[in-house]
Chains A and B, each alone.
Chain A
Amino acid sequence: MRYIVLTMLFLLAMAQPVSALEITAPEVPEGGAELMPEDTSSFGDSLLELVQKAIRAIRPDLAEASRICVAVIAAVLMIALLQSISGSVKTVSEYAGTAAVGAILLGSAGSMIRLGAETVTQISDYGKLLLPVMTTAMAAQGGITSSAALYTGTAVFNAFLTGLISGLLVPMTYLFLALAAANCATGEELLKRIRDMVKNAVSWCLKTILTVFTTYMGITGVVSGTTDAVTLKATKMTISSVVPVVGGILSDASEAVLVSAGLVKNAAGIYGILAILAVFLGPFLQIGVHYLLLKATAAVSGIFGSKRMTELIGDFSSAMGLLLAMTGSACLLLLISTVCFMKGVG
């Protein structure tokens, strides 16, 4: 029995080189290791497991965010009471309200902004490891021009977006919050306009980058895919023109390597997509919970609170929305790219 098992193990070990290519996706980063499914052979099951784990992990954050929102509602209620008792101290109460709401929300908003920025960096860093793997696998499958073009496009956009988010968009989110707080305290129209401009600028930047990237990937896929298809056809013609026996062997070998590269690329792509989602999903849900609860808090505060204070809570919620857009864009960029690589040679 032992010999049979040993023989089988030996045969399995010998069978390994027949798969021809040994290309594997990089290990999931530490941030997503907890959510990453054990078995990634089935994409649907793995995705379901990932989402279930992420939802289970969000419960403590949900409780924390709820506590913050209750504190905010209590502060708004107290300020509203103060304003109704004595109308002459309206300005002071607006300042006090802004200070109270700002102090309660700024801590959690700061930690969410840091979380968002870290997530973008982690996704980008993982992308830098995954991209060469997908490029190698696609080139081995015959997509030499396509893989180089897709790599270039993704690497450029990835670096640009990450730099833009950490260097400009994250500071702009802080600026947005500062302007929102200042506007709430003073009611200055200029601040309101600049605040809206900052918010629109951040959204516009992200939308434009994603649109340009998607267009680039679409056009590159078609153009370079055609070039690769022609090259593959030419290679097949060359193979059929060589000596019959060798031609047959060569044809079988090429087919085996192409199929093997396709399988390897698919496996690496699925693992890569799941790893990206594992890194992304936890923080995205965390920020998303804050976003939704702040929206609800703003709605509740609107019933009894002053207009400015309700607006300030809404602005904190909008800042969370901007963070969701930033992390979502970084994730979407890599997902689109990985799917383009997986689509293969045109």
Chain B
Amino acid sequence: MEALRQYVFSIVAASMISGVVMGFLQGGTVKELLKLICGLFLAFMIISPLHQLDLSDFAIPGETEKQTGQDIAAEGKELAEEAIADIIKAETEAYILDKAAQLNVELEVEVTVSMDDPPLPMAVSLSGSISPYARRRLEAILTDEIGIPKENQAWTG
């Protein structure tokens, strides 16, 4: 800012000096010549500091911003997938509990959801007392309706 102040003052001072010099002369060739010299002097005062201008401060950015944008967008996508996975887990567990209740069985259910795109139920662990008939029915529901293969169904209790 100090350099800028100096620059502004130098232009004002230079133009005032030129004005005073021009004011003392009456006319003729000498005045014309002085007018040219004063004009050149002013032009030099205005243009001379421009070569010191540091253009690196406002260099066009690009690659970093592009990468950051892609990273943030990927985070957003991941956030949405996690939210979808949470809902799928809760809804699937509710569905299984509902089917178990229809068979008069009380169970505790824990569904594991894959983090693929789209996220799907991949495994389940069930605990509670259950008759062989009800278990066969529930296994069929888990395999056919929810798509969890038999080897990924863990039964305890």
B39's nearest neighbour on chain A, judged by CB, is A190
Residues of B within 8 A of A246 (CB): 88, 92, 120-121, 145-147
| Cβ-based interface call for A186 (8 A) | yes
Give the residues in chain B near A174, CB-CB below 8 Å: 4, 8
**From DSSP, what is the main secondary structure of chain B's interface residues?**
helix
* Cα separation A245 to B143 with both chains bound (whole Å): 11
Cβ 8 A contact of B83, one of A20, A139, A152, A244? A20
Q: Tally the A-B contacts, defined by beta carbons under 8 Å.
A: 185
Question: Which stretch, B26-34, B62-70, B127-135, touches the partner chain A?
Answer: B62-70
Q: How far is the CA of A155 from the CA of B79 in the complex (A)?
A: 22
**Which range holds the interface residue count of chain B?**
35 or more
* Pairwise interchain contact A253-B60, C-beta atoms closer than 8 A: no
Q: Is the C-beta of A301 less than 8 angstroms from some C-beta in chain B? A: no
Q: Say whether B146 contacts A243, CB under 8 Å.
A: yes
Residues in A with CB closer than 8 Å to B86 are: 17, 20
Known contacts A168-B58, A246-B120, A250-B120; A21/B80 CB under 8 A = yes
Pairwise interchain contact B88-A186, C-beta atoms closer than 8 A: no
Chain B positions 117-150 with a Cβ under 8 Å from a chain A Cβ: 117-121, 144-147
Q: With contacts A151-B69, A159-B61, A163-B58 known, is A245 near B95, CB below 8 A?
A: yes
Q: A20-B87, A163-B57 are in contact. Are A140 and B76 (CB under 8 A)?
A: yes
Please tell me if the beta carbons of B69 and A135 are within 8 angstroms of each other in the complex: yes
Asked if A194 lies at the interface with its beta carbon under 8 angstroms from chain B, I say: yes
Known pairs A136-B79, A156-B65, A243-B147; A249 contacts B58 (CB<8 A)? no
Distance in Å: Cβ of B152 to nearest Cβ of chain A? 14
Residues in B neighbouring A23, C-beta threshold 8 A: 79
A81 to B57, CA, bound (A): 49
Q: Closest CB of chain B to A265's CB: distance in Å? A: 10
Q: Which residues of A contact B76 (CB under 8 A)?
A: 135-140, 144, 147
- Whether A245 pairs with B145 at a CB distance below 8 angstroms is yes
Contact call A21/B79, Cβ cutoff below 8 A: yes
B106 within 8 A of A: no
Among A45-53, A61-69, A118-126, A177-185, the stretch in contact with B: A177-185
> Which chain A residues have a beta carbon within 8 Å of chain B's beta carbons?
17-18, 20-21, 23, 91, 95, 132, 135-142, 144-145, 147-152, 155-156, 159-160, 163-164, 166-168, 171, 174-175, 177-179, 181-183, 185-188, 190-191, 194, 235, 238-239, 242-246, 249-250, 252-254, 256-258, 260-261
- 28 sample A-B contacts, Cβ–Cβ < 8 Å, listed by A number: A17-B86, A20-B83, A21-B79, A91-B20, A135-B72, A135-B73, A135-B76, A137-B76, A140-B83, A147-B73, A151-B73, A160-B60, A163-B59, A167-B58, A168-B58, A183-B15, A186-B18, A188-B18, A188-B38, A235-B117, A244-B145, A246-B88, A246-B147, A249-B87, A249-B91, A252-B91, A253-B88, A257-B83
Write the residues of chain B forming the contact surface with A, with a CB cutoff of 8 angstroms. Answer: 4, 7-9, 11-12, 14-16, 18-20, 22-23, 38-39, 42-43, 46, 53-54, 57-62, 65-66, 68-70, 72-77, 79-80, 83-84, 86-88, 91-92, 95, 117-121, 144-147
